[in-house]
Amino acid sequence: MTAASFVHPVDTVKVRMQMPKTEMTMKYSSISRSFYHILQEEGIGKRGIYKGFSASILREGTYSGMRLGFYEPFKRLLGATDPKSTPLWLRFTAGGLAGLFGSGIANPADILKTRMQS
């Protein structure tokens, strides 16, 4: 969540630059111009460069919580009983499944964040 607070302005610029090009969005042609226009016209807060930040925090909290919370249960489900003798492939698979599950649950918050930013 802390990392999201630092990366969110860059993500907002990225989303604005990826919007379909219209007369209104032509001002987002480069990273520096995009930052300039967003800060100049909308400011820093909830209506500016940090627009959609609440959805970003929701997404990060949901995704990270699910990913970390489901790792051990998936590991046990796959048959790991002793942490010292658990093979790497089983840990890797459990981590992948936990990440997959977390991404699926957090996806609506990610879509909400992108729509709020644009």
CATH code for the domain of 101: 1.50.40.10
pLDDT given for residue 90 in this prediction:
94
74 phi and psi, to 5 degrees?
-65, -35
- What string of pLDDT tens digits covers the 118 residues of the chain? 899 999 999 999 999 888 888 777 788 888 999 999 999 999 988 788 999 999 999 999 999 999 999 999 999 999 988 888 899 999 999 999 999 999 999 999 999 999 998 8
Task: Give the domain extent around 27.
Answer: 2-117
pTM value surpassing 0.75: yes
Residues sharing a CB contact under 8 Å with residue 94, sequence separation 6 or more, in sequence order: 71, 72, 74, 75, 77, 78, 80
pLDDT given for residue 60 in this prediction:
92
Amino acid letter, residue 24: M
The structural domain count of the chain equals 1
